[in-house]
A and B are shown apart, each in its own frame.
Chain A
Protein backbone atom coordinates (compact mmCIF):
# COMPACT_ATOMS: atom_id res chain seq x y z
CA UNK A 1 0.00 0.00 0.00
CA UNK A 2 2.87 2.31 0.79
CA UNK A 3 4.24 2.25 -2.76
CA UNK A 4 0.78 3.16 -4.01
CA UNK A 5 0.59 6.49 -2.27
CA UNK A 6 4.09 7.30 -1.16
CA UNK A 7 4.48 11.09 -1.18
CA UNK A 8 0.70 11.29 -1.43
CA UNK A 9 0.76 14.86 -0.14
CA UNK A 10 1.81 15.96 -3.62
CA UNK A 11 -1.75 15.18 -4.68
CA UNK A 12 -3.17 17.79 -2.32
CA UNK A 13 -4.48 20.03 -5.16
CA UNK A 14 -6.47 17.13 -6.60
CA UNK A 15 -7.81 16.38 -3.14
CA UNK A 16 -8.93 19.98 -2.73
CA UNK A 17 -10.78 19.90 -6.04
CA UNK A 18 -12.48 16.57 -5.27
CA UNK A 19 -13.45 17.81 -1.82
CA UNK A 20 -14.94 21.01 -3.22
CA UNK A 21 -16.93 19.11 -5.84
CA UNK A 22 -18.48 16.89 -3.19
CA UNK A 23 -19.13 19.82 -0.86
CA UNK A 24 -20.75 21.94 -3.55
CA UNK A 25 -22.96 19.03 -4.67
CA UNK A 26 -24.14 18.42 -1.11
CA UNK A 27 -24.65 22.12 -0.50
CA UNK A 28 -26.79 22.31 -3.62
CA UNK A 29 -28.98 19.53 -2.25
CA UNK A 30 -29.45 21.05 1.17
CA UNK A 31 -30.20 24.65 0.18
CA UNK A 32 -33.90 25.33 -0.47
CA UNK A 33 -34.73 25.33 -4.17
CA UNK A 34 -35.88 28.94 -4.17
CA UNK A 35 -32.67 30.42 -2.82
CA UNK A 36 -30.35 32.08 -5.32
CA UNK A 37 -27.30 30.04 -6.19
CA UNK A 38 -25.17 32.89 -7.44
CA UNK A 39 -22.69 32.44 -4.59
CA UNK A 40 -21.70 29.00 -5.88
CA UNK A 41 -19.56 30.81 -8.39
CA UNK A 42 -17.63 32.50 -5.63
CA UNK A 43 -17.23 29.22 -3.75
CA UNK A 44 -15.94 27.53 -6.89
CA UNK A 45 -13.55 30.41 -7.52
CA UNK A 46 -12.36 30.06 -3.93
CA UNK A 47 -11.77 26.35 -4.52
CA UNK A 48 -9.79 27.21 -7.64
CA UNK A 49 -7.66 29.74 -5.78
CA UNK A 50 -7.14 27.28 -2.93
CA UNK A 51 -6.04 24.64 -5.40
CA UNK A 52 -3.58 27.05 -7.01
CA UNK A 53 -2.04 27.90 -3.63
CA UNK A 54 -1.80 24.17 -2.94
CA UNK A 55 -0.28 23.56 -6.35
CA UNK A 56 2.44 26.14 -5.76
CA UNK A 57 3.09 24.77 -2.27
CA UNK A 58 3.38 21.27 -3.69
CA UNK A 59 5.73 22.57 -6.35
CA UNK A 60 8.06 24.10 -3.76
CA UNK A 61 8.01 20.98 -1.59
CA UNK A 62 8.66 18.78 -4.61
CA UNK A 63 11.54 20.99 -5.74
CA UNK A 64 13.23 21.29 -2.34
CA UNK A 65 12.60 17.92 -0.69
CA UNK A 66 12.42 15.56 -3.63
CA UNK A 67 14.89 17.26 -6.00
CA UNK A 68 12.21 17.54 -8.65
CA UNK A 69 12.32 13.92 -9.70
CA UNK A 70 9.18 12.32 -11.18
CA UNK A 71 6.98 10.60 -8.63
CA UNK A 72 4.73 7.69 -9.56
CA UNK A 73 1.48 6.74 -7.91
CA UNK A 74 -0.87 3.75 -8.11
CA UNK A 75 1.56 1.35 -9.71
CA UNK A 76 2.80 4.13 -12.03
CA UNK A 77 -0.65 4.85 -13.43
CA UNK A 78 -0.47 8.45 -12.24
CA UNK A 79 2.56 10.73 -12.48
CA UNK A 80 3.75 13.86 -10.78
CA UNK A 81 6.44 15.41 -12.96
CA UNK A 82 7.41 18.73 -14.49
CA UNK A 83 5.17 18.34 -17.56
CA UNK A 84 2.08 17.50 -15.56
CA UNK A 85 2.82 20.28 -13.07
CA UNK A 86 3.10 22.98 -15.75
CA UNK A 87 0.04 21.74 -17.63
CA UNK A 88 -1.96 21.60 -14.40
CA UNK A 89 -1.00 25.20 -13.70
CA UNK A 90 -2.07 26.24 -17.19
CA UNK A 91 -5.38 24.45 -16.86
CA UNK A 92 -6.07 25.95 -13.45
CA UNK A 93 -5.20 29.44 -14.70
CA UNK A 94 -7.61 29.00 -17.62
CA UNK A 95 -10.32 27.80 -15.28
CA UNK A 96 -9.91 30.87 -13.07
CA UNK A 97 -10.31 33.03 -16.18
CA UNK A 98 -13.46 31.12 -17.13
CA UNK A 99 -14.86 31.60 -13.63
CA UNK A 100 -14.17 35.33 -13.77
CA UNK A 101 -15.91 35.51 -17.15
CA UNK A 102 -18.92 33.59 -15.88
CA UNK A 103 -19.22 35.67 -12.72
CA UNK A 104 -18.94 38.93 -14.61
CA UNK A 105 -21.84 38.40 -16.92
CA UNK A 106 -25.10 36.65 -16.23
CA UNK A 107 -25.62 35.76 -19.87
CA UNK A 108 -22.26 34.08 -19.74
CA UNK A 109 -23.16 31.40 -17.31
CA UNK A 110 -26.71 30.15 -17.25
CA UNK A 111 -28.98 33.03 -16.41
CA UNK A 112 -30.53 32.11 -13.08
CA UNK A 113 -31.07 28.40 -13.36
CA UNK A 114 -28.50 25.65 -12.84
CA UNK A 115 -25.90 27.98 -11.37
CA UNK A 116 -24.73 25.34 -8.90
CA UNK A 117 -24.43 22.60 -11.51
CA UNK A 118 -22.59 24.95 -13.83
CA UNK A 119 -19.85 25.67 -11.34
CA UNK A 120 -19.28 22.24 -9.90
CA UNK A 121 -19.30 20.63 -13.33
CA UNK A 122 -16.54 23.07 -14.25
CA UNK A 123 -14.54 21.67 -11.34
CA UNK A 124 -15.30 18.12 -12.50
CA UNK A 125 -14.00 19.02 -15.95
CA UNK A 126 -10.88 20.51 -14.35
CA UNK A 127 -10.31 17.25 -12.48
CA UNK A 128 -10.69 15.31 -15.72
CA UNK A 129 -8.18 17.56 -17.44
CA UNK A 130 -5.73 17.13 -14.57
CA UNK A 131 -6.06 13.36 -14.62
CA UNK A 132 -5.56 13.48 -18.38
CA UNK A 133 -2.29 15.37 -18.20
CA UNK A 134 -0.82 13.34 -15.33
CA UNK A 135 -1.74 9.79 -16.30
CA UNK A 136 0.65 7.21 -17.59
CA UNK A 137 -1.82 4.39 -18.12
CA UNK A 138 -4.37 3.88 -20.88
CA UNK A 139 -7.20 3.25 -18.41
CA UNK A 140 -6.60 6.39 -16.35
CA UNK A 141 -6.07 8.39 -19.53
CA UNK A 142 -9.40 7.22 -20.83
CA UNK A 143 -11.21 7.93 -17.57
CA UNK A 144 -9.71 11.43 -17.41
CA UNK A 145 -10.62 12.10 -21.03
CA UNK A 146 -14.22 11.08 -20.47
CA UNK A 147 -14.49 13.00 -17.21
CA UNK A 148 -13.46 16.12 -19.10
CA UNK A 149 -15.62 15.37 -22.14
CA UNK A 150 -18.82 14.40 -20.34
CA UNK A 151 -18.68 17.49 -18.13
CA UNK A 152 -18.11 19.72 -21.14
CA UNK A 153 -20.99 18.17 -23.12
CA UNK A 154 -23.32 19.14 -20.29
CA UNK A 155 -21.75 22.57 -19.80
CA UNK A 156 -22.11 23.45 -23.49
CA UNK A 157 -25.84 22.78 -23.35
CA UNK A 158 -26.56 23.88 -19.79
CA UNK A 159 -28.81 26.73 -20.92
CA UNK A 160 -31.41 24.23 -22.02
CA UNK A 161 -34.00 26.81 -23.03
CA UNK A 162 -31.59 28.15 -25.65
CA UNK A 163 -32.04 26.27 -28.94
CA UNK A 164 -28.56 27.04 -30.23
CA UNK A 165 -26.84 25.97 -27.03
CA UNK A 166 -28.60 22.60 -26.97
CA UNK A 167 -27.95 22.05 -30.66
CA UNK A 168 -24.28 22.80 -30.08
CA UNK A 169 -24.27 20.33 -27.20
CA UNK A 170 -25.87 17.68 -29.41
CA UNK A 171 -23.28 18.12 -32.13
CA UNK A 172 -20.52 18.05 -29.54
CA UNK A 173 -21.79 14.91 -27.82
CA UNK A 174 -22.20 12.96 -31.07
CA UNK A 175 -18.85 13.89 -32.58
CA UNK A 176 -17.11 13.69 -29.20
CA UNK A 177 -18.58 10.23 -28.69
CA UNK A 178 -17.32 9.07 -32.08
CA UNK A 179 -13.89 10.52 -31.31
CA UNK A 180 -13.83 8.70 -27.96
CA UNK A 181 -14.77 5.47 -29.70
CA UNK A 182 -11.91 5.90 -32.16
CA UNK A 183 -9.40 6.63 -29.38
CA UNK A 184 -10.66 3.64 -27.44
CA UNK A 185 -10.51 1.35 -30.46
CA UNK A 186 -6.93 2.45 -30.98
CA UNK A 187 -6.16 1.83 -27.31
CA UNK A 188 -7.60 -1.68 -27.53
CA UNK A 189 -5.17 -2.59 -30.33
CA UNK A 190 -2.28 -1.03 -28.49
CA UNK A 191 -3.19 -3.08 -25.44
CA UNK A 192 -3.69 -6.21 -27.48
CA UNK A 193 -0.32 -6.05 -29.17
CA UNK A 194 1.67 -5.24 -26.05
CA UNK A 195 -0.43 -6.91 -23.35
CA UNK A 196 -0.10 -3.87 -21.13
CA UNK A 197 -1.89 -0.63 -20.47
CA UNK A 198 0.98 1.19 -18.81
CA UNK A 199 2.60 3.67 -21.20
CA UNK A 200 6.15 2.98 -20.05
CA UNK A 201 5.66 -0.77 -20.38
CA UNK A 202 4.23 -0.22 -23.84
CA UNK A 203 7.31 1.80 -24.69
CA UNK A 204 9.51 -1.06 -23.57
CA UNK A 205 7.67 -3.66 -25.60
CA UNK A 206 7.61 -1.45 -28.69
CA UNK A 207 11.35 -0.95 -28.38
CA UNK A 208 11.97 -4.68 -28.34
CA UNK A 209 11.40 -6.47 -31.57
CA UNK A 210 7.73 -6.67 -32.37
CA UNK A 211 6.42 -9.41 -34.63
CA UNK A 212 5.83 -8.15 -38.17
CA UNK A 213 2.12 -8.97 -38.09
CA UNK A 214 1.74 -7.10 -34.82
CA UNK A 215 3.45 -3.95 -36.05
CA UNK A 216 0.65 -3.29 -38.54
CA UNK A 217 -1.89 -3.31 -35.74
CA UNK A 218 0.24 -0.88 -33.79
CA UNK A 219 0.30 1.51 -36.73
CA UNK A 220 -3.46 1.03 -37.03
CA UNK A 221 -3.85 1.98 -33.37
CA UNK A 222 -1.71 5.07 -33.91
CA UNK A 223 -3.84 6.30 -36.79
CA UNK A 224 -7.11 5.52 -35.02
CA UNK A 225 -5.97 7.54 -32.02
CA UNK A 226 -4.72 10.34 -34.24
CA UNK A 227 -8.21 10.53 -35.73
CA UNK A 228 -9.78 10.77 -32.29
CA UNK A 229 -7.30 13.35 -31.03
CA UNK A 230 -7.77 15.41 -34.16
CA UNK A 231 -11.45 15.67 -33.27
CA UNK A 232 -10.90 16.46 -29.65
CA UNK A 233 -8.20 19.08 -30.13
CA UNK A 234 -10.08 20.51 -33.15
CA UNK A 235 -7.28 20.09 -35.69
CA UNK A 236 -8.01 20.56 -39.34
CA UNK A 237 -9.53 17.63 -41.17
CA UNK A 238 -11.69 16.99 -38.11
CA UNK A 239 -12.64 20.56 -37.31
CA UNK A 240 -16.22 20.77 -38.58
CA UNK A 241 -17.89 20.81 -35.18
CA UNK A 242 -15.77 23.53 -33.60
CA UNK A 243 -17.34 26.66 -35.05
CA UNK A 244 -20.89 25.44 -34.44
CA UNK A 245 -20.19 24.56 -30.83
CA UNK A 246 -18.43 27.87 -30.09
CA UNK A 247 -21.23 29.86 -31.70
CA UNK A 248 -23.99 28.02 -29.91
CA UNK A 249 -22.57 28.15 -26.42
CA UNK A 250 -21.68 31.05 -24.14
CA UNK A 251 -18.47 33.05 -24.41
CA UNK A 252 -17.24 31.67 -21.10
CA UNK A 253 -17.77 28.11 -22.26
CA UNK A 254 -16.14 28.89 -25.61
CA UNK A 255 -13.12 30.20 -23.71
CA UNK A 256 -13.20 26.98 -21.68
CA UNK A 257 -13.15 24.81 -24.81
CA UNK A 258 -10.48 26.95 -26.42
CA UNK A 259 -8.10 26.79 -23.48
CA UNK A 260 -8.66 23.94 -21.01
CA UNK A 261 -9.73 21.26 -23.48
CA UNK A 262 -6.95 22.05 -25.91
CA UNK A 263 -4.23 22.16 -23.26
CA UNK A 264 -5.41 18.90 -21.70
CA UNK A 265 -5.72 17.00 -24.99
CA UNK A 266 -2.36 18.34 -26.08
CA UNK A 267 -0.84 17.01 -22.86
CA UNK A 268 -2.46 13.67 -23.61
CA UNK A 269 -0.99 13.56 -27.14
CA UNK A 270 2.46 14.48 -25.87
CA UNK A 271 2.35 11.78 -23.20
CA UNK A 272 1.18 9.12 -25.56
CA UNK A 273 3.68 10.00 -28.26
CA UNK A 274 6.69 10.45 -26.03
CA UNK A 275 5.98 7.73 -23.50
CA UNK A 276 4.74 5.00 -25.83
CA UNK A 277 4.87 5.56 -29.55
CA UNK A 278 8.32 7.11 -29.81
CA UNK A 279 10.13 3.86 -30.79
CA UNK A 280 7.89 3.64 -33.85
CA UNK A 281 9.38 6.85 -35.19
CA UNK A 282 12.80 5.24 -35.25
CA UNK A 283 11.71 2.24 -37.28
CA UNK A 284 12.80 2.44 -40.84
CA UNK A 285 9.96 1.21 -42.96
CA UNK A 286 6.97 3.24 -41.87
CA UNK A 287 8.20 6.14 -39.83
CA UNK A 288 7.87 8.75 -42.53
CA UNK A 289 4.16 7.96 -42.84
CA UNK A 290 3.76 8.82 -39.18
CA UNK A 291 5.69 12.04 -39.59
CA UNK A 292 3.76 13.02 -42.68
CA UNK A 293 0.46 12.29 -40.98
CA UNK A 294 1.35 14.65 -38.14
CA UNK A 295 2.74 17.27 -40.49
CA UNK A 296 -0.33 17.01 -42.69
CA UNK A 297 -2.56 17.73 -39.71
CA UNK A 298 -0.46 20.74 -38.70
CA UNK A 299 -0.33 22.18 -42.22
CA UNK A 300 -4.02 21.59 -42.90
CA UNK A 301 -4.95 23.17 -39.56
CA UNK A 302 -2.98 26.30 -40.34
CA UNK A 303 -4.41 26.64 -43.85
CA UNK A 304 -8.01 25.62 -43.21
CA UNK A 305 -8.32 27.59 -39.98
CA UNK A 306 -6.98 30.81 -41.43
CA UNK A 307 -8.77 30.58 -44.77
CA UNK A 308 -12.16 29.75 -43.30
CA UNK A 309 -11.79 32.47 -40.68
CA UNK A 310 -11.58 35.03 -43.45
CA UNK A 311 -15.25 34.83 -44.32
CA UNK A 312 -16.71 34.72 -40.82
CA UNK A 313 -18.82 37.58 -39.55
CA UNK A 314 -19.67 36.05 -36.18
CA UNK A 315 -17.13 36.84 -33.48
CA UNK A 316 -17.08 33.44 -31.76
CA UNK A 317 -17.04 31.51 -35.05
CA UNK A 318 -14.09 33.59 -36.11
CA UNK A 319 -12.34 32.82 -32.84
CA UNK A 320 -13.08 29.12 -33.39
CA UNK A 321 -11.40 29.10 -36.79
CA UNK A 322 -8.51 31.16 -35.50
CA UNK A 323 -8.20 28.58 -32.71
CA UNK A 324 -7.88 25.82 -35.32
CA UNK A 325 -5.03 27.77 -36.90
CA UNK A 326 -3.39 28.29 -33.50
CA UNK A 327 -3.51 24.53 -32.87
CA UNK A 328 -1.77 24.11 -36.21
CA UNK A 329 1.04 26.40 -35.02
CA UNK A 330 1.34 24.61 -31.69
CA UNK A 331 1.54 21.20 -33.38
CA UNK A 332 4.58 22.25 -35.45
CA UNK A 333 7.28 21.42 -32.84
CA UNK A 334 5.50 18.16 -32.03
CA UNK A 335 5.59 16.97 -35.64
CA UNK A 336 9.31 17.66 -35.78
CA UNK A 337 10.11 16.06 -32.46
CA UNK A 338 12.21 13.21 -33.83
CA UNK A 339 14.11 15.46 -36.22
CA UNK A 340 14.98 18.04 -33.59
CA UNK A 341 15.65 15.26 -31.06
CA UNK A 342 13.09 16.94 -28.84
CA UNK A 343 15.43 19.87 -28.38
CA UNK A 344 13.69 22.80 -26.68
CA UNK A 345 10.40 21.12 -27.53
CA UNK A 346 8.73 21.65 -24.16
CA UNK A 347 10.08 25.15 -23.68
CA UNK A 348 8.85 26.34 -27.06
CA UNK A 349 5.42 24.70 -26.88
CA UNK A 350 4.71 25.62 -23.29
CA UNK A 351 5.71 29.22 -23.91
CA UNK A 352 3.30 29.45 -26.81
CA UNK A 353 0.56 27.75 -24.84
CA UNK A 354 0.93 30.21 -21.99
CA UNK A 355 0.75 33.16 -24.38
CA UNK A 356 -2.20 31.50 -26.13
CA UNK A 357 -4.15 31.08 -22.89
CA UNK A 358 -3.59 34.72 -21.92
CA UNK A 359 -4.61 36.21 -25.24
CA UNK A 360 -7.53 33.90 -25.91
CA UNK A 361 -8.95 34.33 -22.42
CA UNK A 362 -8.60 38.11 -22.74
CA UNK A 363 -10.20 38.20 -26.18
CA UNK A 364 -13.15 36.10 -25.03
CA UNK A 365 -13.58 38.31 -21.98
CA UNK A 366 -13.93 41.37 -24.22
CA UNK A 367 -16.13 39.52 -26.72
CA UNK A 368 -18.44 38.29 -23.97
CA UNK A 369 -19.13 41.78 -22.67
CA UNK A 370 -19.42 43.52 -26.03
CA UNK A 371 -21.70 40.93 -27.63
CA UNK A 372 -23.84 40.69 -24.50
CA UNK A 373 -24.47 44.44 -24.54
CA UNK A 374 -25.14 44.55 -28.27
CA UNK A 375 -27.42 41.51 -28.16
CA UNK A 376 -25.73 40.07 -31.24
CA UNK A 377 -22.68 37.92 -31.77
CA UNK A 378 -21.75 39.55 -35.05
CA UNK A 379 -18.49 41.45 -35.39
CA UNK A 380 -20.38 44.65 -36.08
CA UNK A 381 -21.19 44.67 -32.37
CA UNK A 382 -17.65 46.03 -32.07
CA UNK A 383 -18.39 49.07 -34.24
CA UNK A 384 -17.03 52.20 -32.65
CA UNK A 385 -15.82 50.45 -29.52
CA UNK A 386 -13.02 52.99 -29.35
CA UNK A 387 -15.57 55.70 -28.66
CA UNK A 388 -17.63 53.66 -26.27
CA UNK A 389 -14.74 52.45 -24.13
CA UNK A 390 -11.22 53.32 -25.30
CA UNK A 391 -9.46 51.13 -22.76
CA UNK A 392 -11.48 48.07 -23.74
CA UNK A 393 -10.72 48.74 -27.41
CA UNK A 394 -7.03 49.05 -26.57
CA UNK A 395 -7.04 45.77 -24.64
CA UNK A 396 -8.84 43.97 -27.47
CA UNK A 397 -6.35 45.34 -30.00
CA UNK A 398 -3.45 44.01 -27.95
CA UNK A 399 -5.03 40.55 -27.74
CA UNK A 400 -5.73 40.54 -31.47
CA UNK A 401 -2.29 41.66 -32.57
CA UNK A 402 -0.85 39.12 -30.16
CA UNK A 403 -2.96 36.39 -31.78
CA UNK A 404 -1.82 37.68 -35.17
CA UNK A 405 1.78 37.58 -33.97
CA UNK A 406 2.82 41.21 -34.16
CA UNK A 407 6.00 42.37 -32.40
CA UNK A 408 5.88 43.61 -28.80
CA UNK A 409 3.32 40.98 -27.82
CA UNK A 410 3.57 37.51 -26.32
CA UNK A 411 2.16 35.96 -29.48
CA UNK A 412 5.05 37.30 -31.51
CA UNK A 413 7.73 35.89 -29.23
CA UNK A 414 5.90 32.57 -29.05
CA UNK A 415 5.59 32.35 -32.81
CA UNK A 416 9.22 33.36 -33.20
CA UNK A 417 10.26 30.44 -31.00
CA UNK A 418 8.04 28.06 -32.95
CA UNK A 419 9.58 29.24 -36.21
CA UNK A 420 13.17 28.93 -35.01
CA UNK A 421 12.33 25.42 -33.84
CA UNK A 422 10.88 24.60 -37.25
CA UNK A 423 13.83 26.03 -39.18
CA UNK A 424 16.24 23.84 -37.24
CA UNK A 425 15.40 20.96 -39.56
CA UNK A 426 15.01 20.55 -43.29
CA UNK A 427 11.49 19.19 -43.19
CA UNK A 428 10.51 21.98 -40.84
CA UNK A 429 11.22 24.62 -43.45
CA UNK A 430 8.03 23.66 -45.26
CA UNK A 431 6.08 24.00 -42.03
CA UNK A 432 7.74 27.30 -41.23
CA UNK A 433 6.91 28.73 -44.64
CA UNK A 434 3.28 27.65 -44.36
CA UNK A 435 3.17 29.21 -40.92
CA UNK A 436 4.50 32.55 -42.13
CA UNK A 437 2.16 32.67 -45.15
CA UNK A 438 -0.94 31.75 -43.17
CA UNK A 439 0.02 34.22 -40.46
CA UNK A 440 0.00 36.97 -43.06
CA UNK A 441 -3.41 35.73 -44.15
CA UNK A 442 -4.64 35.96 -40.58
CA UNK A 443 -3.93 39.70 -40.42
CA UNK A 444 -6.96 40.28 -42.64
CA UNK A 445 -9.49 38.88 -40.23
CA UNK A 446 -7.88 40.07 -37.02
CA UNK A 447 -7.76 43.56 -38.42
CA UNK A 448 -11.41 43.36 -39.35
CA UNK A 449 -12.06 43.65 -35.60
CA UNK A 450 -9.63 46.54 -35.33
CA UNK A 451 -11.26 48.32 -38.27
CA UNK A 452 -14.67 47.98 -36.66
CA UNK A 453 -13.43 49.26 -33.33
CA UNK A 454 -11.60 52.33 -34.57
CA UNK A 455 -13.06 53.33 -37.93
CA UNK A 456 -16.81 52.64 -37.67
CA UNK A 457 -19.51 54.68 -36.02
CA UNK A 458 -21.09 52.98 -33.01
CA UNK A 459 -24.71 51.81 -33.28
CA UNK A 460 -25.38 52.82 -29.71
CA UNK A 461 -23.38 55.72 -28.32
CA UNK A 462 -23.47 54.84 -24.61
CA UNK A 463 -20.40 53.68 -22.80
CA UNK A 464 -19.85 49.95 -22.25
CA UNK A 465 -19.61 49.17 -18.58
CA UNK A 466 -17.45 46.26 -17.49
CA UNK A 467 -18.14 44.29 -14.31
CA UNK A 468 -15.14 44.20 -12.02
CA UNK A 469 -14.55 40.46 -12.31
CA UNK A 470 -14.19 40.85 -16.07
CA UNK A 471 -11.97 43.84 -15.47
CA UNK A 472 -9.65 41.67 -13.38
CA UNK A 473 -9.58 38.97 -16.07
CA UNK A 474 -8.82 41.49 -18.82
CA UNK A 475 -6.16 43.24 -16.77
CA UNK A 476 -4.36 40.02 -15.90
CA UNK A 477 -4.30 38.81 -19.48
CA UNK A 478 -3.30 42.24 -20.81
CA UNK A 479 -0.44 42.61 -18.36
CA UNK A 480 0.58 39.01 -19.00
CA UNK A 481 0.54 39.41 -22.78
CA UNK A 482 2.77 42.47 -22.66
CA UNK A 483 5.02 41.28 -19.82
CA UNK A 484 5.65 37.97 -21.57
CA UNK A 485 6.82 39.91 -24.61
CA UNK A 486 9.14 42.21 -22.67
CA UNK A 487 10.51 39.62 -20.26
CA UNK A 488 10.21 36.24 -22.01
CA UNK A 489 13.27 34.96 -20.18
CA UNK A 490 11.33 34.81 -16.89
CA UNK A 491 9.07 32.05 -18.15
CA UNK A 492 11.90 30.37 -20.04
CA UNK A 493 14.07 30.28 -16.92
CA UNK A 494 11.15 28.89 -14.96
CA UNK A 495 10.71 26.12 -17.52
CA UNK A 496 14.45 25.52 -17.56
CA UNK A 497 14.56 25.21 -13.78
CA UNK A 498 12.01 22.42 -14.13
CA UNK A 499 14.32 20.64 -16.54
CA UNK A 500 12.14 21.12 -19.59
Chain B
Protein backbone atom coordinates (compact mmCIF):
# COMPACT_ATOMS: atom_id res chain seq x y z
CA UNK B 1 0.00 0.00 0.00
CA UNK B 2 2.87 2.30 0.78
CA UNK B 3 4.13 2.40 -2.76
CA UNK B 4 0.92 3.87 -4.17
CA UNK B 5 1.44 7.16 -2.41
CA UNK B 6 5.00 7.44 -3.73
CA UNK B 7 3.86 6.66 -7.25
CA UNK B 8 1.07 9.21 -6.96
CA UNK B 9 3.51 11.85 -5.76
CA UNK B 10 5.79 11.08 -8.71
CA UNK B 11 2.91 11.20 -11.18
CA UNK B 12 1.75 14.56 -9.79
CA UNK B 13 5.28 15.97 -9.99
CA UNK B 14 5.69 14.69 -13.54
CA UNK B 15 2.40 16.27 -14.58
CA UNK B 16 3.25 19.59 -12.97
CA UNK B 17 6.55 19.52 -14.81
CA UNK B 18 4.90 18.75 -18.14
CA UNK B 19 2.35 21.50 -17.56
CA UNK B 20 5.15 23.93 -16.78
CA UNK B 21 7.08 23.08 -19.94
CA UNK B 22 4.02 23.52 -22.08
CA UNK B 23 2.57 26.67 -20.56
CA UNK B 24 5.21 28.79 -18.85
CA UNK B 25 6.58 31.84 -20.62
CA UNK B 26 9.80 32.23 -18.67
CA UNK B 27 12.61 30.15 -20.14
CA UNK B 28 14.18 29.47 -16.73
CA UNK B 29 10.91 28.08 -15.40
CA UNK B 30 10.73 25.84 -18.46
CA UNK B 31 14.12 24.37 -17.56
CA UNK B 32 13.01 23.96 -13.93
CA UNK B 33 9.95 22.10 -15.13
CA UNK B 34 12.09 19.62 -17.05
CA UNK B 35 14.08 19.07 -13.85
CA UNK B 36 10.81 18.44 -12.03
CA UNK B 37 9.92 15.74 -14.55
CA UNK B 38 13.31 14.09 -14.13
CA UNK B 39 13.03 14.22 -10.34
CA UNK B 40 9.63 12.56 -10.50
CA UNK B 41 11.43 9.66 -12.14
CA UNK B 42 13.91 9.55 -9.26
CA UNK B 43 11.12 9.20 -6.74
CA UNK B 44 9.62 6.42 -8.83
CA UNK B 45 12.92 4.56 -9.07
CA UNK B 46 13.75 4.79 -5.38
CA UNK B 47 10.21 3.82 -4.36
CA UNK B 48 10.30 0.80 -6.65
CA UNK B 49 13.68 -0.30 -5.39
CA UNK B 50 12.41 -0.29 -1.81
CA UNK B 51 8.73 -1.31 -2.04
CA UNK B 52 8.42 -2.65 -5.61
CA UNK B 53 7.26 -6.09 -6.68
CA UNK B 54 10.87 -7.23 -6.85
CA UNK B 55 12.86 -4.84 -4.67
CA UNK B 56 16.53 -4.55 -5.63
CA UNK B 57 19.33 -2.07 -5.25
CA UNK B 58 19.48 -1.40 -8.99
CA UNK B 59 16.86 1.33 -8.68
CA UNK B 60 19.12 3.32 -6.33
CA UNK B 61 21.98 3.01 -8.78
CA UNK B 62 19.74 4.06 -11.65
CA UNK B 63 18.57 7.12 -9.73
CA UNK B 64 22.20 8.12 -9.11
CA UNK B 65 22.78 8.04 -12.85
CA UNK B 66 19.60 10.02 -13.45
CA UNK B 67 20.59 12.72 -10.98
CA UNK B 68 24.00 13.09 -12.61
CA UNK B 69 22.63 13.27 -16.13
CA UNK B 70 19.87 15.67 -15.10
CA UNK B 71 22.49 18.00 -13.67
CA UNK B 72 24.46 17.87 -16.92
CA UNK B 73 21.32 18.54 -18.91
CA UNK B 74 20.44 21.52 -16.75
CA UNK B 75 23.95 22.91 -17.23
CA UNK B 76 23.72 22.61 -21.02
CA UNK B 77 20.22 24.07 -21.03
CA UNK B 78 21.23 27.08 -18.92
CA UNK B 79 24.30 27.67 -21.10
CA UNK B 80 22.20 27.70 -24.27
CA UNK B 81 19.64 29.94 -22.58
CA UNK B 82 22.38 32.40 -21.57
CA UNK B 83 23.69 32.55 -25.14
CA UNK B 84 20.17 33.13 -26.41
CA UNK B 85 19.45 35.79 -23.78
CA UNK B 86 22.56 37.70 -24.79
CA UNK B 87 21.41 37.74 -28.42
CA UNK B 88 17.72 38.46 -27.86
CA UNK B 89 17.67 40.35 -24.57
CA UNK B 90 14.61 38.48 -23.35
CA UNK B 91 13.85 35.29 -21.49
CA UNK B 92 10.29 35.06 -22.77
CA UNK B 93 10.03 31.83 -24.76
CA UNK B 94 7.15 33.21 -26.86
CA UNK B 95 9.59 35.62 -28.45
CA UNK B 96 11.95 32.87 -29.57
CA UNK B 97 10.00 32.49 -32.78
CA UNK B 98 12.23 33.44 -35.70
CA UNK B 99 12.30 29.83 -36.94
CA UNK B 100 8.89 28.71 -38.10
CA UNK B 101 7.06 27.30 -41.05
CA UNK B 102 5.54 30.49 -42.44
CA UNK B 103 8.69 32.60 -42.27
CA UNK B 104 8.95 32.65 -46.07
CA UNK B 105 5.42 33.97 -46.52
CA UNK B 106 5.92 36.99 -44.30
CA UNK B 107 8.92 38.34 -46.15
Contact = CB atoms under 8 A, between A and B. Distances in A.
Interface of A: 138-139, 142-143, 146, 150, 153-154, 157, 160-161, 163-164, 166-171, 173-174, 177-178, 180-182, 184-185, 187-189, 191-197, 205, 211, 214, 243-244, 247-248, 308, 311-314, 317, 378
B99 A184 contact: no
A180 B65 CA distance: 13
Contact of A166 (B34, B69, B87): B87
Interface string B82-107: 01100110000000101111011000
Given A192-B52, A195-B54, A139 B76 contact: no
B34 to A, nearest CB: 4
Interface in B1-60: 10, 14, 17-18, 21, 27, 30-31, 34, 37-38, 40-41, 44-45, 47-48, 52-56, 58-59
A184 B18 CA distance: 14
A365 B98 CA distance: 25
Nearest to A145: B69
B53 A150 contact: no
Interface of B: 10, 14, 17-18, 21, 27, 30-31, 34, 37-38, 40-41, 44-45, 47-48, 52-56, 58-59, 61-62, 65-66, 69, 72-73, 76-77, 79-81, 83-84, 87-88, 96, 98-101, 103-104
A191 B99 contact: no
15 contacts: A139-B62, A150-B76, A154-B80, A166-B83, A170-B27, A177-B37, A178-B21, A185-B14, A185-B40, A197-B58, A197-B62, A211-B53, A243-B99, A311-B101, A313-B104
Nearest to A140: B65
By CB atoms of chain B within 10 A, which of A164, A173, A189, A193 has the most?
A: A173
A26 to B, nearest CB: 21
B53 A177 contact: no
A163 B86 CA distance: 10
B48 A243 contact: no
Nearest to B66: A184
Contacts of A171: 96, 99
Contact of B98 (A142, A163, A169, A178): A163
Interface of A is mostly: helix
By CB atoms of chain B within 10 A, which of A182, A185, A187 has the most?
A: A185
Contact of A196 (B31, B44, B56): B56
Given A166-B80, A173-B77, A243 B34 contact: no
A146 B73 contact: yes
Contacts of A378: 104
Given A174-B34, A188-B62, 6 more contacts: A142-B65, A157-B80, A163-B87, A163-B98, A166-B87, A188-B59
B55 A191 contact: no
B76 A188 contact: no
Nearest to B63: A188
Nearest to A240: B101
B53 A214 contact: yes
A191 B62 contact: yes
Given A142-B69, A191-B58, A181 B81 contact: no
A178 B31 CA distance: 10
Contacts of A244: 99-100
B56 A180 contact: no
A163 to B, nearest CB: 5
Contacts of A313: 104
A189 B7 CA distance: 10
Given A157-B80, A163-B87, A178-B34, A195 B41 contact: no
Contact of B54 (A139, A184, A196, A317): A196
A192 B6 CA distance: 12
A433 B10 CA distance: 43
A272 to B, nearest CB: 16
A181 B38 contact: yes
Contacts of B59: 188, 191-192
A192 B27 contact: no
A211 B59 CA distance: 20
Contacts of B77: 153, 173-174, 177
